[in-house]
Amino acid sequence: MTDDRVAVVAQTLTPPSSRAVQAGLKAHPRIANVIAVGSGKGGVGKSTTTVNLALALHRLGLRVGVLDADVYGPSVPLMLGLSGRPESTEDKKIIPMRALGVDTMSIGYLIEEDSPMIWRGPMATQALTQFFNDTLWDDLDVLLIDLPPGTGDIQLTLAQKIPVAGAVVVTTPQEVATLDARKALAMFEKVNIPVLGLVENMAVHVCSACGHAEHIFGQGGGQAMAARYNVPLLGSLPLDAAIREQADAGTPIVSAQPDGVISQAYVALARALVERLATRPRAQIALNTLGS
């Protein structure tokens, strides 16, 4: 390990048990915990973070899936090197596409790569609920839902119709990004989805030639926001060309360079997320079973 600040051994974790979801909703029978990954604005690396986080969770021994809920700009298929249409069963259930040990579903598998999604809000939200309910997820410990930027129709549908154990908000350190991330955080709180923590992406760039560390997008924005809203900062991730290059190549950094410092930062983030999830109340289904 070359950097004690992020070095972490990828030891397996005990799979997290089901945690409480919004009142009036029932947990998915094959998914222990749904975690929404959101941001207030685009361009903060939310999808890249989601995919690498999923691979880091899988590396820790969990069964993981990713639902790409950004129907207008799906990027999960590209990042995982997947193409083609998913198969379906006789009763019209969708078999998820699988890569690097992770189950996935995305509108990107059902449309041509360059085709725009000219859909009104109700069509987009219907696609989200259909993908969640009609995909044959493989008894997952965690399903990450990669949300589109903002606080619109899809986020509202998520709160009303999909049982979510918690949310993660991705931001960059700069003030304009944290300003929008605060809106996402406030939105989750208003719809009674607990925010498990923040992820500060592109926190620092280390020059590959000289080793000089530079905070290109500012410093301390994520930590200040976490303190202001009393939520944990789950991790700070670097700004590095390799992260983008590996995502574009369909082999995310956690898979391509599993022993590297950057991958270890994602593994540390995954571990912090699971530990935070474990502090949440258990699902009522489990409690009722114990009491029966």
Running DSSP on this structure, what letter comes out for residue 233? E
Are 128 and 94 in contact by the 8 Å Cβ rule? The answer is no
**Single-letter code of the amino acid located at 292:** S
- Determine which helix (DSSP H) or strand (DSSP E) holds 188, and give its type and residue range: helix 175-190
Does pLDDT of 288 surpass 50? no
Winning range, highest mean pLDDT, from 11-20, 68-77, 120-129, 132-141: 132-141
Does pLDDT of 1 surpass 60? no
Rounded to a whole number of angstroms, the CA Rg of the chain reads: 18
Residues contacting residue 61 through CB under 8 Å, at least 6 positions apart: 12, 13, 15
**Would you call 235 helix, strand, or coil by DSSP?**
strand
pLDDT score of 23: 92
At residue 6 the predicted structure's pLDDT band, cuts being 50, 70 and 90, is very low
pLDDT score of 182: 87
The percentage of the chain sitting over the pLDDT mark of 90, rounded to a whole number, equals 61
Q: What does the angle CA 281 – CA 9 – CA 53 come to, to the nearest 5 degrees?
A: 55
- Per-residue pLDDT reduced to its tens digit, 153-183: 899 899 999 999 999 999 988 776 677 888 8
When mean pLDDT is compared across 74-83, 95-104, 161-170, 214-223, the lowest value belongs to 214-223
pLDDT score of 41: 77
pLDDT score of 177: 66
Does pLDDT of 8 surpass 60? no
CA quadruple 189, 58, 61, 284: dihedral positive or negative?
positive
Domains annotated on the chain, with CATH: 31-278 (3.40.50.300)
Question: What are 282's strand-pairing partners?
Answer: 19
Measured between alpha carbons, how far is 158 from 149 in angstroms, rounded to an integer?
13
- Per-residue pLDDT reduced to its tens digit, 12-38: 888 889 999 999 999 999 999 999 999
When mean pLDDT is compared across 57-71, 91-105, 181-195, 252-266, the lowest value belongs to 181-195
pLDDT score of 291: 40
